[in-house]
A and B are shown apart, each in its own frame.
Chain A
Amino acid sequence: MEISKNDRNILERLTRPYRHLTMRQREGLVGFLFLLPWIVGFLLLKAIPILVALGFSFTNFKMLEPEKTRFIGLENYLTFLRDTGAGSSLFGSIAYFVQAVPIEMLVALGLAVVFSSPRLRGKTVLRTLFFMPSIIPAIAIFFIVTGLATPGSGWIDRLILGPLHLPPMANLYSLFPVLLAVWTIGPGFLIMLGAMQSVPPEVYEAARVDGAGPINRFFSITIPMISPAIFFSLVINMISSFGGVALLDRGLAYSQSLSPMEGYINYQMFSLTNLGYASALAWVMFVVVMLITLAIFYSAKYWVHFPEEEDRVEF
């Protein structure tokens, strides 16, 4: 990123009041001004709230009686260890991640493979249709699953199990995470498809000449070549399954069945107004998500083939 002479002149004029600074410092200053909205937002909306939450988590802060707040040390965290509701919610959130993300990744990858075949017709329309459910909010999916899976009157019982004389299934609600996962493939699918289409055909041609079959080519060329895209969609899917800010945020409803740990934190916060305990729970969730994130980023060293060194720093 070398800066030209003209650049220098402009910067010089622009930052004349700061004449005592070097060119490099002036460039940094102007750049820093552009970053300002994000830096202020980062401090006000992320960094400070996270630290404040840590502070709250050591107190017995209750929304309705703030004057009784006092420091109680690690008691909230000890309560968490004994609280079976919190434990099962956290487990539920992790279980959803473990269930949903592999489904999303595999379906998206498989679909991307099919879409990169020259034999498929009407790709534009099909791509739009496969992406479409990804913009549907979770509440709609919840409504649909309820309608499909209610034992007795649900569509699955009436249309499939009933005519086949099978007994109604009791646990059809477990369909919700599956449908939610399969209907979230959109971003990952497009990212992987794009990566697949950008693999130079000569690479495949060379492998063909060397006698590599389609399966061999897929695992030895396609997968390594698109591994950054796989990694990117893995991160996106992980974030959306834990309720961060993802590309297409579903806006999960706050109920215990949809996003268990978030639901439980909200229950502690609004129904019981235990802000201190809710903060402790949020911190536990935060640490768990960060550990999983670190594990995924650490593992990337072993299976993601980044094209340039610079990219690894960036993502």
Chain B
Amino acid sequence: MSNSRLAAVRRWFNVSTLTFRMWNFTGTALLNLFIFLAIVVYLSPLTYMVTTSLKTASQLSDSSAPIYPAAAVTFQYQGADYPVVDVPVDGRMKQWALVNTFRKYSEFVDPADPGRGLIRWDGYWGSLKKVYRPSVTFGNFAYLWENQGYPEMLKNSLVVVGLAELGVLCSSILVAYGFSRFRIPGGKFLFFLCIATIMIPDSITLVPQFVIYTRVLDWNGSLLPIIVPHFFGSAIYIFLLRQNFKTIPRDMDEAAMLDGAGPLRTLISIILPQSVPVVVTVALLQFFNMWNEMRMSTLYLSTAMDLRTMAFSAQAFVTIGFTAEMLQASAIILMIVPIVVLFVAQRFFMQDMVVTGIEK
């Protein structure tokens, strides 16, 4: 806070400098503490997914297992592994390995003193809880990668994202340039129409599109219905790009035109270099959208196993439910990690979203 503002606030509250400084510090500390707690709570549900992906199948099937990734402790006795359980003996818990189970009693070995031999304990062994110690497995990811065709899926995801990105960027930039720089008869109405299409729910075009793609064009089981529509531009990106292009002074265009540049040349050498942040923003938004794409792939890829994307598989694993829970979690994480890394790695995006906000 600037000094003049501090002074103004101090006069407002009519307190001494020291008291005010203390209050000011307390306020700052409380605010930061509050936001810190808020972000911890905000992100805490993610821990469920992460911990589940690091667990083994045997831990998930044991309802008494801890919620953190852990492995059951075993003890090797005479060449065989036995689970270590908590046994109540004389009011105290002993951690013994369960060797023989019977209905009325069970036999144990004390791992601390195996030479003592089998210890008989009266009671039903089913009520005893296994001893766990923290242990993390990455086997779920390895399993998915090796047995569920993930390299292929990654390739498909990248093909979908790459081509859709190329299509949407080229077309949206051209259209936004057209909207921002030319006086077109009815241009305002067309732009209004373009914005209006953002509001149209997908379900209204779903049935006719499905009939056209599957019956007329015979694109069922191919990536075409997912990629081709992006070559016609996307209304919301056109809006974002056009708003940004409008802020670039026209003097620059005119200077270029003076040098003999045509409209396309002006777009490439004048407009685009000054619009790198917004173009990167659009590219990133499109990347996230296409990487997470599930609607279209559910419709058109369910018959084409070899074309499945990572998003499609993650969704199929969760909704169909034949896949074990830890594999579902791992599939989701495998799919999310690339976009989270990409998101954290960039700076443009945030800044430009802010710029867009100011402008709007």
Give the residues in chain B near A269, CB-CB below 8 Å. 206-207, 210
- Known A45-B209, A117-B31, A127-B350; contact A243-B203, beta-carbon cutoff 8 A: yes
Give the residues in chain A near B52, CB-CB below 8 Å. 147
Instruction: Kindly state the separation between the CA atoms of A83 and B67 in the bound complex, as whole angstroms.
Output: 44
- Whether, in the assembled complex, A140 has its beta carbon less than 8 Å from a beta carbon of chain B, the answer is yes
- Known A127-B350, A147-B52, A194-B358; contact A286-B39, beta-carbon cutoff 8 A: no
- Known A34-B178, A129-B43; contact A193-B354, beta-carbon cutoff 8 A: yes
Min Cβ gap A129→B in Å is 5
- Whether, in the assembled complex, A101 has its beta carbon less than 8 Å from a beta carbon of chain B, the answer is no
Give the residues in chain B near A44, CB-CB below 8 Å. 232
- B356 and A194 within 8 A (CB): yes
Residue among B45, B171, B206 making CB contact with A37, cutoff 8 Å:
B171
- Known A136-B336, A251-B311; contact A128-B183, beta-carbon cutoff 8 A: no
- B199 and A247 within 8 A (CB): no
- B350 and A131 within 8 A (CB): yes
Q: Which of B242-262 contact A (CB under 8 A)?
A: 250, 253-254, 257-258, 260-262
- Whether, in the assembled complex, A195 has its beta carbon less than 8 Å from a beta carbon of chain B, the answer is yes
Give the residues in chain B near A119, CB-CB below 8 Å. 1, 27-28, 31-32
Q: Mark B210-244, 1 if CB is under 8 A from A, else 0.
A: 11100000000000000001011111101100000
Min Cβ gap B351→A in Å is 9
Residue among A31, A130, A242, A275 making CB contact with B178, cutoff 8 Å:
A31
- B202 and A244 within 8 A (CB): yes
- A155 and B48 within 8 A (CB): yes
Instruction: Kindly state the separation between the CA atoms of A276 and B32 in the bound complex, as whole angstroms.
Output: 56
- Whether, in the assembled complex, A305 has its beta carbon less than 8 Å from a beta carbon of chain B, the answer is no
- A53 and B178 within 8 A (CB): no
Min Cβ gap B145→A in Å is 19
Give the residues in chain B near A27, CB-CB below 8 Å. 182-184
- Whether, in the assembled complex, B73 has its beta carbon less than 8 Å from a beta carbon of chain A, the answer is no
Residue among B175, B208, B355 making CB contact with A52, cutoff 8 Å:
B208
- B332 and A37 within 8 A (CB): no
How many residues on chain A are close to B (CB under 8 Å)? 114
Q: Please classify the interface of chain B as helix (H, G, I), strand (E, B), loop, or mixed, using the class held by over half of its residues.
A: helix
Give the residues in chain B near A132, CB-CB below 8 Å. 43, 340, 343-344
Min Cβ gap B236→A in Å is 6
- B285 and A191 within 8 A (CB): no
Q: List the B residue with the shortest CB-CB distance to A1.
A: B183
Instruction: Kindly state the separation between the CA atoms of A228 and B358 in the bound complex, as whole angstroms.
Output: 9
Stretch at the interface among B91-99, B123-131, B157-165, B290-298: B290-298
Min Cβ gap B192→A in Å is 7
Q: List the B residue with the shortest CB-CB distance to A51.
A: B208
- A35 and B201 within 8 A (CB): no
- Whether, in the assembled complex, A103 has its beta carbon less than 8 Å from a beta carbon of chain B, the answer is no
Identify the 7 closest CB pairs spanning chains A and B, nearest first: A41-B232, A31-B182, A194-B357, A34-B178, A194-B354, A49-B208, A251-B294
Q: Which residues of A contact B (CB under 8 A)?
A: 1, 3-4, 6-7, 9-10, 14, 24, 27-28, 30-35, 37-42, 44-46, 48-50, 52-53, 56, 114, 117-121, 124, 126-133, 135-137, 139-140, 142-145, 147-148, 153, 155, 158-159, 179, 182, 187, 190-195, 197-198, 208, 228-229, 232, 235, 238-239, 242-255, 261-262, 265-266, 269, 275, 278-279, 281-283, 285-286, 289-290, 293, 311, 313-315
Listed A/B pairs (25) with beta-carbon separation below 8 Å: A10-B261, A14-B262, A32-B178, A32-B182, A34-B179, A37-B231, A39-B190, A41-B231, A50-B200, A52-B211, A128-B343, A129-B42, A130-B39, A137-B335, A147-B49, A190-B354, A194-B356, A244-B201, A245-B235, A246-B236, A250-B292, A252-B295, A278-B207, A289-B200, A315-B195
